[in-house]
A and B are shown apart, each in its own frame.
Chain A
Amino acid sequence: MHESILVYRKHRYLKWALALAVVSALFYMIDSPLGQPNGGTWLGYTLGTISGGLMVWLAWFGVRKRRYGLGNVPLEDWLSAHVYLGIALALIATLHAGFQLGFNIHSALYILMMITIISGLVGLYFYISYPRLLTENRRGLSTEVMLAQIAELDRDLRQIAMTMDDATNAATLKATQDTIIGGSLMQQLRGHDEHCPTTQARLFVEGSDGGPQDAQRRQLLTRLIRKEDLLKRIRRDVQLRCLLKVWLYVHIPFSIAALAALVTHVVTVFYYW
């Protein structure tokens, strides 16, 4: 799926975007306007109109993708074009601005737009890399299965520890009752828990001497290690799935904010023509 976005229809939309970018760059190089290149020349207005249109169209993807199955153009086309034309927009809008930045609302629009595009690129990178990592990490198990296995291990752990000494039983009980997966955004993104009760219980059991209960201790340790492995994988799973979505919290609000700034930009530019 991830490959198909980029190579979709033999790079059709890459070619479109490249053509648009190259033509814009050529005009920019040929054009020698009065003063510095800026948005107020005929080329500036043209590139600005293209950029504004692209911004609205790119944002429309959010509407289009919620209407799955509707429309004549498949969503894959939309996504592929969304990616490539979004990247082209970064160049065209930069040419429209004539590489000028200042302390004003026009530059604010540019910065909002660039944040949207860069977050989109980050999202694209995630979408390209992480599904494979997710699959590798899961090793055929779904998140739900991993959770269920952990729950099952918890039950076993409790049962094995029941007849062991108080300290081992307490550590094991803590491991089964207090182990948390994910949590806050930062905990999800971190992908591991340095204070994981399961790890602490495993260390405790490793360091303890089972004595007459050594067989139980080994059973306990085996399960703790298995649980730890499962926890490591599920936390990585949570981390990857979180990353796959977290960029949208930048991409979408900033894209709408950029549209708001686009309205301000267009109105004010002509208000003070």
Chain B
Amino acid sequence: MRSLIRQVTRKSRGGVAVRDEIAEGDIIIAGRGNDCAIRLPDPRVMLHHAEFTMRSGELYVSAAAGADLRINDNLAQIGKLETGSKVRIGPYEIEVQPPESDFDFVVAVELVQALGDDLEKLVARSQIHITRIGLTMRWWVWLLAGAIITGTFLVPFVFNLLVGPPPDKMALSAGKMNYTPSPTSIWTSGSISSAHKFFADSCETCHAAPFVPVQDNACLSCHSAVQNHAQPALFPFADLNKYACQNCHKEHQGNVTIVRSDEAFCADCHKDLGSMSTRTTLDRASDFGKQHPEFRPTVVKDSALHTMDRSRTLNENPPPQENSGLKFPHDKHLRREGVKDPVRGVVNLDCADCHTPNETGETMRAVSFERNCHGCHALKFDSFVPNRELTHGKPEEVFKQVYDVYDALAMRGGYDEPAAPALVRRRPGTPLTPVEKALVTNWAAAKASDVLNGYFGRGLCAECHNILETKGATATNEFGEPTAAPEATSVAAKAGVPVLPAEKTWTVEPPTLTELWMPKAYFTHARHTDVKCTECHAAKTSTSASDVLLPSIAICQSCHGGEKSADRVPSTCVDCHRFHRRDLDPMHPEKAAAHKAADAGVALPQKHPHVAQSAPLPRWETP
């Protein structure tokens, strides 16, 4: 089968263009596909839309499955064609033309309905492309970016210049509690620490100049009294004046304290301080659980001279000795059978009977004779004068008191001791001659000497105190006058009776009680009340007051570990030690002095942040 296919194109300005194509084959296919003999390039046409065939000399057209045809404007699936027949395939019209020689049939193909109104209308009412969402992309970009720059930068910046707090309102100073918030406070890089929160929104309080890091002056305007860590002259590498406050105290870290507590900070030097300084006496310390020296208590070396010693650690042999001038065997007082109390009978003493915490619960109140000892240890010295007791704590007065007691007894008479002379034992009130008076006063002096140097004097004191020998010295009172009954001396001298020398051969060593054995560390009993005293303090086996009953570090370490400890209470250096040592001078003495001078002239308001700092601080004795 040989066919001629005429592609007809009508030009817009009139006229027709015709292009002839020759197709051969038993079946002539019309469709969109490139392989079709009759090519109908339009989307409405199927790939293989229709087939033209010759059957017994007749031309037939048939639609492919699912395709539609119109033959002479009638919908049809198949149909016979004659010259003049018009087949519509989608927008194309195929007209059968009169036969020509050499061709079985001739058809003219023309696009008669370009994609028409239906498509245009469908496209017009449909929106199938995302062109804009409300605004164009560019507008969204400008809007969002503009809002960010304006809202977060320009507005706060301009407001800060125009209506921000004036400079004099920003200055930070001790005692000032009202600060004007800055509009720029939304620029904060994080919450201010709890202590500084009250001026947190007033940026210029600390940030005095733009693009300049915060200067120490901002901190020192309140914290001028903060002390050094070590003496700068001896340990120049630890001179804090070389560093800015904010090297260590980082603000804007949240509502927390800005005091450093990390172990590594201290360990940086203290893990091997010896390599940094030959002057240090401190051992290596980097972690409380793993590397920390044994405790080295500051003990009394000589109670009389008030000298202290910090040379021995608790685990040394011999261990450090507390030479307090006192004798006190803890074991005897705590023994299981109890001790004899003159009033209550046998009692079992407990630690708390003598050791009571002070107001803060931090340390124990100093033990005192009157409160803790006197109940059992009354200072009675003569069973014939059972109501008299020696005055505790004033050895000079004691000498005078004892002389006075016996002098009065001798003058009055009636002292029933068998060994006493008859004059003294006489009926009370019997008058004495001057010579007799001299004799009895001499007796009184001798008796007082006997008592004071005997068991009820020296012996009684020596039960608890160290006795210092003062042989040859004349006992004197607090004014340096002789105490040995001066009137007796003069009376005896007048009567021609030889005067017995009132010789004071001993005195009590002034005791020294240690308040803190480890003054460079902080410990509070208040947070350890659930622990029994004896779990830390080996008092039950202590036989001597010179025993330092501090627990060894091993006992602390049984509960406390280093900062990163997993099986102990994580404890870091500053849990026990202060970095800015209160026993040292301020880091900035001139600022501290100026501050103090200013404070002196100004009545402080109620809520004064400086009060806590200006309160007298304990200054530990450094040995």
CB atoms of A147 and B122 under 8 A apart: yes
Query: A263 contacts B119, CB within 8 Å?
Result: no
Within 8 A of A (CB), among B396-437: none
Q: Is B601 an interface residue (CB 8 A)?
A: no
A selection of 22 A-B contacts at a CB cut-off of 8 Å is A32-B262, A34-B250, A35-B250, A35-B258, A36-B254, A104-B187, A104-B190, A108-B152, A142-B43, A144-B43, A148-B42, A151-B122, A159-B75, A160-B75, A184-B127, A188-B130, A241-B130, A246-B130, A253-B145, A254-B144, A272-B210, A273-B207
Segment from B211-219, B289-297, B457-465 that makes contact with A = B211-219
> Complex: how many Å from CA A148 to CA B189?
60
A183 touches B126 (CB 8 A): yes
Within 8 A of B (CB), among A225-273: 226, 234, 237-238, 241-242, 245-246, 248-249, 252-254, 256-257, 259-261, 263-264, 267-273
- Chain B residues with CB below 8 A from A167, complex form: none
Does any Cβ of B come within 8 Å of A102's Cβ?
yes
Chain B residues 250 to 293 lying within 8 A of chain A, measured CB to CB, are 250, 252-254, 258, 260, 262, 264-265
Interface string of A13-44 (1 = CB under 8 A from B): 00000000000000000001011101110000
- Least Cβ–Cβ distance between A213 and chain B, in angstroms: 14
Contact of A260 with B137 at beta-carbon distance under 8 Å, contacts A102-B191, A181-B122, A268-B187 already known: no
Cα A176 to Cα B546 with chains together (Å)? 112
Verify A151–B153 contact, CB threshold 8 A.
no
Interface assignment of B186: CB less than 8 Å from any CB of chain A: yes
Interface size on A, residues (CB 8 A): 69
Q: In whole angstroms, what is the CA distance A155 to B120 when docked? A: 12
Chain A 37-53 per-residue mask, 1 if CB under 8 angstroms from chain B, else 0: 01110000000000000
Task: Report if A145 contacts B (CB, 8 A).
Answer: yes
Tell me whether B619 is interfacial, beta carbon within 8 Å.
no
A245 vs B129: C-alpha distance when bound (angstroms): 9
Complex interface: chain B residues within 8 A of A155 (CB): 116, 118
Q: Could you give, for residues 118-153 of chain A, a 1 whenever the CB lies within 8 Å of some chain B CB and a 0 otherwise?
A: 000000000000000000000001111101111110
Say whether chain A's binding surface is mostly helix, strand, loop, or mixed.
Answer: helix
Which residue of A38, A177, A182, A256 is within 8 Å of B128 (Cβ)? A182
Q: Does chain A have a CB within 8 A of B133? A: yes
Q: Which of A152, A256, A261 neighbours the largest number of chain B CB atoms within 10 Å of its CB?
A: A152
CB <8 Å contact, A188 and B128: yes
A239 CB, nearest partner CB in chain B, Å: 10
B323 at the interface (CB under 8 A from A): no
Q: Which residues of B contact A76 (CB under 8 A)?
A: none
Q: A104-B189, A151-B119 are in contact. Are A257 and B145 (CB under 8 A)?
A: yes
Q: Chain A residues with Cβ under 8 A from B147's Cβ?
A: 257
Asked if A179 CB lies within 8 Å of chain B CBs, one says yes
Q: Which residues of chain B are within 8 angstroms of A188 by Cβ–Cβ distance?
A: 127-128, 130
CA A122 – CA B119 in complex, angstroms?
34
CA distance A176 to B117 in the complex (A): 12
B253 touches A238 (CB 8 A): no
Question: Which interface class (under 10, 10 to 19, 20 to 34, 35 or more) fits B?
Answer: 35 or more
A106 touches B137 (CB 8 A): no
Given A36-B253, A260-B146, 7 new contacts (CB under 8 A) = A141-B43, A176-B118, A180-B126, A181-B122, A187-B127, A241-B128, A260-B149
Q: Is B203 an interface residue (CB 8 A)?
A: yes
With CB as the reference atom, state the residue of chain A lying closest to B46: A149
Count A-B contacts at CB 8 Å: 167
Contact flags (1/0) for B27-64 with A, using CB distance below 8 Å? 00000000000000011100000000000000000000
**Beta-carbon contact of A104 and B188 below 8 Å:** yes
A185 close to B (CB within 8 Å) = yes
Q: Closest CB-CB distance, B319 to chain A, in whole Å?
A: 39
Given known contacts A34-B248, A148-B44, A264-B148, A272 and B187 CB-to-CB distance under 8 angstroms: yes
Contacts of B42 in A (CB 8 A): 148
Q: Is residue A208 within 8 Å, beta carbon to beta carbon, of the partner chain?
A: no
Choose from A151, A263, A267 the contact partner of B118 (Cβ within 8 Å).
A151
Check if A263 sits within 8 Å of B153, measured CB to CB: yes
Residues of B within 8 A of A176 (CB): 118
CA distance A257 to B152 in the complex (A): 11
- The reply to whether A242 and B130 form a contact with Cβ atoms under 8 Å apart is yes
**CB within 8 Å for A268 and B184 given contacts A180-B125, A183-B127:** yes
B320 at the interface (CB under 8 A from A): no
Across chains A and B, which 7 residue pairs bring their CB atoms closest together, nearest first?
A151-B118, A151-B119, A148-B43, A181-B126, A145-B43, A152-B44, A257-B144
Return A260 CB to nearest CB of chain B, in Å. Answer: 4
Docked complex Cα distance between A261 and B150 (Å):
10
| Bound complex: CA A16 to CA B287 (Å) | 40
Residue B593 CB within 8 A of the other chain = no
Bound Cα distance from A145 to B264, whole angstroms: 73
Task: Decide if A154 touches B130 in the complex (CB within 8 Å).
Answer: no
- Contact between chains at B44 and A256 (CB < 8 Å): no
**A56 an interface residue at 8 Å Cβ cutoff?**
no
Inter-chain contacts of B153 with A (CB < 8 A): 105, 263-264, 267-268
For the complex, is A100 an interface residue (Cβ under 8 Å from B)? yes
Query: CA separation between A34 and B42, bound complex, in Å?
Result: 74
B68 to A, closest residue via Cβ: A156
B122 touches A154 (CB 8 A): yes
Q: Which residues of A contact B145 (CB under 8 A)?
A: 253, 256-257, 259-260
Q: Are B149 and A264 in contact (CB under 8 A)?
A: yes
Q: Across the interface, which residues of B come within 8 angstroms of A246, CB to CB?
A: 130, 133
Residues of A within 8 A of B210 (CB): 271-272
CB contact list, B132-189 vs A, under 8 A: 133, 137, 140-141, 143-149, 152-153, 184, 186-189
* Alpha-carbon separation in the docked complex, A181 to B10 (Å): 33
Q: Check A256/B211 contact, CB under 8 A, given A151-B116, A268-B187.
A: no
Q: How far does the alpha carbon of A151 sit from the alpha carbon of B128 in the complex, in Å?
A: 15
Contact assessment for A185 and B133 in the assembled complex, using a CB-CB cutoff below 8 Å? yes
> What's the Cα separation between A35 and B265 when bound, in Å?
11
How far does the alpha carbon of A117 sit from the alpha carbon of B121 in the complex, in Å?
41
Instruction: Decide: B44 and A147 in contact? CB cutoff 8 A.
Output: no
Given A40-B189, A102-B188, A264-B153, A151 and B253 contact (CB-CB distance below 8 Å): no
Is the Cβ of A238 less than 8 Å from the Cβ of B137? Answer: no
CB of A182 within 8 A of CB of B127, answer yes
Q: What's the Cα separation between A155 and B197 when bound, in Å?
A: 77
Q: How far is the CB of B114 from chain A (nearest CB, A)?
A: 11
Distance between Cα atoms of A185 and B184 in the complex (Å): 39
Across the interface, B141 reaches (CB within 8 A) one of A142, A237, A252, A269, namely: A252
Query: Is B617 engaged at the interface, CB distance under 8 Å to the other chain?
Result: no
